[in-house]
DNA sequence: GTACCACCTGAGAACCATTCTCACTACAGG
DNA sequence: CCTGTAGTGAGAATGGTTCTCAGGTGGTAC
């Protein structure tokens, strides 16, 4: 990751390290507000947003739009491994799920088929499952 | 749909009809701003938002969070048929795709499997494919 | 080691999609 | 018709996010 940033002449400063570390600790996408709470005053909100934007440009973090007017971020697939999302309609939590490679292969086949039929050139996909998490059911 | 609203003692007023009609005409999810442009001054923004909220409660429209701070709405699956989304990274358009029933069955199987492994009770799912649409590639 | 310069940071203001408030209007039942 | 409840419109308020601008900092060249 440091290498990736260096290639793009983006400094991996302490503030950015803190943000990446917080995301690495998380079990799913986190909003700027959640990150800010976790990190504390070390990184002010405006810098936090800027760091997220820079890291997004660099392809290190990926935005996830799962709730009204709230953007959550998580580390990109190439860092954490490809995964999908479970969204709880009761508590709003978004959790990552990794799925067995054989299932992932099937998902990929479907994605390619669907895209091909629509003349669409697929680049990424995300399967979102909405329902009730173990805690809320 | 009228019946569904009547059951819930929600009036299907002319303003709401206009909103539903605009969504029915659209080929994919539309934001409040886009709808407002299309509809014109007949329905002021505040009413438009309220109508969308009411219709969402009634399960007639479904919100779709696909861009930074922007909520797009579309008619619910039970009206338009179940479908997935193609999101163009170049122009930002979100288009609906219906997929062959046999594929949909596979998607459902995968969703059930994934959810089961995570102790999650699935209610709905959405497969989002990101890439370049035919126009932008 | 120090001077430079582009990049980065912090605080607050600005922005903009969305929601709220409140006075007003329009149906539906009696 | 009268009344009550639901719906509407305009504008203010909200809140997540982005912008601005005045410093700070790290990396490079000398």
Q: Where do the H-state alpha helices sit in B28-135?
A: 32-39, 45-57, 77-80, 101-117
Q: Report the distance from CA of residue A11 to the C1' of nucleotide D28 in Å, as an integer.
A: 14
Residue B131 neighbours by CB distance under 10 Å = 20
* Distances B61 to A18, A69, A125, A129, B54 between C-alpha atoms, Å: 40, 18, 24, 18, 9
B114 → closest Cβ in A65, A67, A97 = A97
Q: From the CA of B42, how many Å to the C1' of C20?
A: 21
Phi and psi (nearest 5°) for A27? Answer: -100, 5
My answer on whether B43 and B9 are in the same domain is yes
Q: Are residues B26 and B89 in the same domain?
A: no
Residues B65 and B20 in one domain: yes
Confidence (pLDDT) at A75: 95
Q: For residue A69, list chain B residues with Cβ-Cβ distance below 8 A.
A: 69, 71
Q: Residue A69: its pLDDT value, please?
A: 84
A82 Cα distance to chain centroid? 10
* Within B 22-81, residues with CB less than 7 Å from strand D: 43-44, 46-47, 50-51, 54, 68-69
Task: Give the residue ranges with Cβ < 7 A from strand C.
Answer: A 9-11, 13-16, 43-47, 50-51, 54, 68-69; B 11, 14, 31-33, 45-46, 49-50, 52-53, 69-71
Last residue of a domain, one of A81, A98, A117: A81
- Which pLDDT value is given to residue B27? 87
Number of domains in chain B: 2
**DSSP structure string for B24-55:** HH-SS-EEHHHHHHHHGGGS-HHHHHHHHHHH
Do A11 and A36 have their domain in common?
Answer: yes
Q: How high is the pLDDT of residue A89?
A: 83
**What percent of chain B is predicted at pLDDT more than 90?**
69
Residue that finishes a domain, picked among A81, A103, A118: A81
Among residues of chain B, what percentage have pLDDT more than 70?
100
CATH number of the domain at B29, please: 1.10.10.10
- Which two structure tokens, joined as six digits, stand for B98? 């219906």
pLDDT at B68: 85
The domain boundary residue, chosen from B81, B99, B123: B81
**Best residue in B118, B123, B124 for a mutation probing chain A (most A CBs within 10 Å):** B118
Identify whether residues A25 and A86 lie together within a single domain. Answer: no
**β-pair type (A121-132, B121-132):** antiparallel
- Statement to judge: residues B76 and B112 lie in one domain: no
Residues A63 and A105 placed together within one structural domain of the fold: no
Structure tokens at A85: 């999302």
- Are A30 and A68 in a shared domain? yes
Interface test with A, best of B59, B114, B136 (most A CBs within 10 A): B114
A92 and A54: one domain?
Answer: no
User: Is there a contact between B118 and A86 (Cβ–Cβ < 8 Å)?
Assistant: yes
User: Residue A7 has what pLDDT?
Assistant: 87
Residues A113 and A87 in one domain: yes
CATH code of B100's domain: 3.30.1490.190
Each residue's pLDDT tens digit in chain A (137 positions)? 888 998 888 999 999 999 999 999 998 899 999 999 999 888 999 999 999 999 999 999 999 987 788 999 999 999 999 999 998 887 778 888 988 899 899 999 999 999 999 999 999 999 999 999 988 87
Identify whether residues A76 and A95 lie together within a single domain: no
Q: What digits encode the pLDDT tens for the residues B52-108? A: 999 999 999 999 987 888 999 999 999 999 999 998 887 778 888 988 899 899 999
Counts for chain A of helices (H) and strands (E), in that order: 6, 6
Domain that holds residue A1: 1-81
């Amino acid at each position: 990751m440091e290498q990736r940033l260096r290639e793009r002449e983006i400094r991996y400063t302490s503030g950015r390290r803190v943000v990446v570390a917080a995301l690495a600790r998380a079990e799913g996408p986190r909003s700027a507000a959640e990150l800010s709470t976790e990190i504390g005053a070390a990184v002010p909100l405006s810098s936090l947003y800027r760091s997220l934007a820079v890291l997004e440009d660099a392809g290190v973090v990926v935005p996830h739009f799962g709730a009204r007017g709230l953007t959550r971020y998580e580390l990109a697939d190439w860092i954490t491994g490809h995964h999908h999302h479970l969204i709880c309609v009761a508590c709003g939590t978004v959790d990552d799920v990794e799925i067995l490679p054989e299932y992932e292969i099937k998902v990929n086949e479907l994605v390619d088929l669907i895209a091909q039929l629509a003349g669409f050139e697929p680049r990424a996909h995300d399967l979102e499952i909405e329902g009730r998490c173990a805690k809320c059911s």
